[in-house]
Structure 1
Amino acid sequence: MHQSQCTAPLKLQRAKPDDDGRCQLPLLHTAGGLVGGDQLSVNIKAGADSRGLVTSVAAQKVYGSVGRSKQHPKGRWASQECHFELATNADLEWLPQELVVFQGGLYKQRMQVELQPKASFLSAEVVRLGRTAAGETLNEGCWRSSLEICRQTPIGRQWELVDQLELNSEVLQSLHGMGTQPVFGSFVWAAPDPLTAEVMETLLRNCRTDRANLEGSMACGGLDQGLVARYIGPSSQAARQWFTRLWARTRQLRRLSIPQPPREWPLQEEGTFSQERFTKNHQPPVASPH
């Protein structure tokens, strides 16, 4: 890490390297949660040939806002803006812990990712809508997300993904939405190079096999240069387990070591990161010639 700067309530804790020399950066939100009107901003620049993993120290909470203030009876939004710039051959993984939106909580986030050639960006996020254990639902709360990924190419700036999502009570209850399931997860990988049809087919088959013994509805598909996966179900742990399996798959395609969970994370399932698990039926990665 060359340079860092944080202002309250965000604090960057001590960095450490993993087996590949990747810099692991734990980010602490000292306030312990977000209320209406709070605004967070994260800006990360990854230099050429660098490798980084950014995670959060604990789950993020978004407290109820609707009906809590006479001045703002409809509530106020808490927000987070993230901007990532990755230079050539940079490899960044954005893996925050679970976000919990309390009853009546309003939260919106925007993520902008700018990639240079052969840069790799991976993101996995899990959201719980309402405190299920307390019998809460979202009620008038809402979660909004905007993700934009673009890459600089020889023919100019090209969009790789534009993803706009909104989850509210109507979507939560709809059979064509969440179907009353309280947990949503999104996994995105923008690969450094295009994948051949054969490699993509094998990757998707392995990702679907990795759903075994997990609760919830899980789906995945290929991007022009990468992978996207979604989880809907009752268990944030199941979402996290599936996404860590997919994370390991992408590491293997990048010819990197199987990842080890950051020390800040809750305990993972036994065998999630074992080498044996991912060598079975694995084919070496082959990049597309174009």
Structure 2
Amino acid sequence: MNVAASIADFETLPRLQRARGAGRIAVGQIAGRTRLRTLFQEGCAKIRLPRPTGPAVEAVLINTSGGLTGGDVVEWQAEAQAGSRLSITTQACERIYRSSGGAAELTTRLRVAASAHIDWLPQETILFGQSRLERSLDIELEGDATLTALEAVLIGREAMGEAARDACLSDNWRIRRDGRLIHAEATRLTGADIERDASSLLAGCNAFATLVSIAPDAEARLEKLRPFLATLPHAGASAMGERLVLRFLAPTGIALRRSLQPAIAALSGAGSVPRLWTI
């Protein structure tokens, strides 16, 4: 065996191009209005600022690579300084494609200062067959800051009849107030049939979401939502102290979105669904 030739052949193999992106935005209150303070974007991560229709700065996150696959890394950071309002969504659903090795990494860090509010409302993440995603959401609240945060997942492409039963997901949330942990959860999909079929888990559904509201009137908000939640076949909610957590399951992405929109409108700082959700 010619070892030198084998090494030379290996070195000439094309290296797969990987997507890398990082975006940061910060807003603050100036003369009684929320204004942009910082905007940074690098690689495939872009941030656009539509003309606001309310008191909040609206930020739209864009992944120009068109989706993520194994080895891709995207990081988002956002900060709402004291007294400001920031609403964040995405231009489209994030697509996680088949991985040839390793997981795509998607990291989000939010900081909400005293008397500020952030709506974290990205559109759905779509997991394709044999995809792998490691996602984390870390949020730091200060003083009396409030928050509405959503993550929604679609497994497979409904229009293509895909079930994507071999898709894998690791999703971790950590929310702290003044350094004290107030909410933590971890979601795991490993491709096992029981995860997709068991009645206590996904119950055969291909779409699910978690919506969290951190506000002093969390229990009152839940009472207002109870009549609506009672109309949904796969939805649950709990409120304790300042934390309201809602869970949604649906057979399809369309059904999930129809379930989410009234809840988002009721809990968001803007009192409405982001405009891009309705286009």
| Amino acid corresponding to residue 57 of structure 1 in structure 2 | Q
CA distance, structure 2, for counterparts of residue 30 and residue 99 of structure 1: 15
Aligned position for 2:153? 127
CA distance, structure 2, for counterparts of residue 169 and residue 180 of structure 1: 13
Aligned position for 2:39? 4
Deviation at 1:257, TM superposition (A): 5.7
Q: Is the 8 A contact 1:126 1:236 kept in 2?
A: no
Cα shift readout 1:80-130 (whole Å, capped 9, x = no counterpart): 111111111110001111110001100111111111011011111210112
Q: Is the 8 A contact 1:160 1:224 kept in 2?
A: no
- Choose between structure 1 and 2: higher strand proportion: 2
Matched, 1:258 2:271: yes
Aligned position for 2:221? 203
CA distance, structure 2, for counterparts of residue 145 and residue 257 of structure 1: 26
Give the secondary structure class of the aligned counterpart of 2:58. Answer: strand
TM-score by length of 2: 0.81
Give unpaired runs (5+ residues) of structure 1.
Answer: 69-74, 268-290
| Amino acid corresponding to residue 237 of structure 1 in structure 2 | I
Aligned position for 2:66? 32
Matched, 1:18 2:47: no
Deviation at 1:224, TM superposition (A): 2.5
Q: CA RMSD in A?
A: 1.9
Aligned position for 2:29? none
Q: Is the 8 A contact 1:40 1:79 kept in 2?
A: yes
CA distance, structure 2, for counterparts of residue 257 and residue 61 of structure 1: 27
CA gap of 1:257–1:165, structure 2 versus 1, over 3 A, is closer
Give the secondary structure class of the aligned counterpart of 2:229. Answer: coil
Deviation at 1:43, TM superposition (A): 1.1
Of 36, 49, 71, the residue aligned with 2:83 is 49
Map 1:241-256 onto structure 2 (within 5 A). 241-251=258-268
CA distance, structure 2, for counterparts of residue 151 and residue 258 of structure 1: 23
CA distance, structure 2, for counterparts of residue 5 and residue 265 of structure 1: 24
Give unpaired runs (5+ residues) of structure 2.
Answer: 1-35
TM-score by length of 1: 0.78
Give the secondary structure class of the aligned counterpart of 1:136. Answer: coil
Cα shift readout 1:194-247 (whole Å, capped 9, x = no counterpart): x3xxx72x4323323123665x40111113312100111213233333333223
| Amino acid corresponding to residue 134 of structure 1 in structure 2 | M
| Amino acid corresponding to residue 267 of structure 2 in structure 1 | T
Aligned position for 2:249? 232
Aligned position for 2:12? none
Aligned position for 1:169? 191
Cα shift readout 1:37-80 (whole Å, capped 9, x = no counterpart): 10110111210001010110011100011xx4xxxxxx310011
Q: Which has the larger radius of gyration?
A: 2
CA distance, structure 1, for counterparts of residue 68 and residue 88 of structure 2: 20
Deviation at 1:190, TM superposition (A): 1.3
Of 109, 122, 126, the residue aligned with 1:83 is 109
Aligned position for 2:18? none
CA distance, structure 1, for counterparts of residue 138 and residue 175 of structure 2: 6
| Amino acid corresponding to residue 46 of structure 2 in structure 1 | K
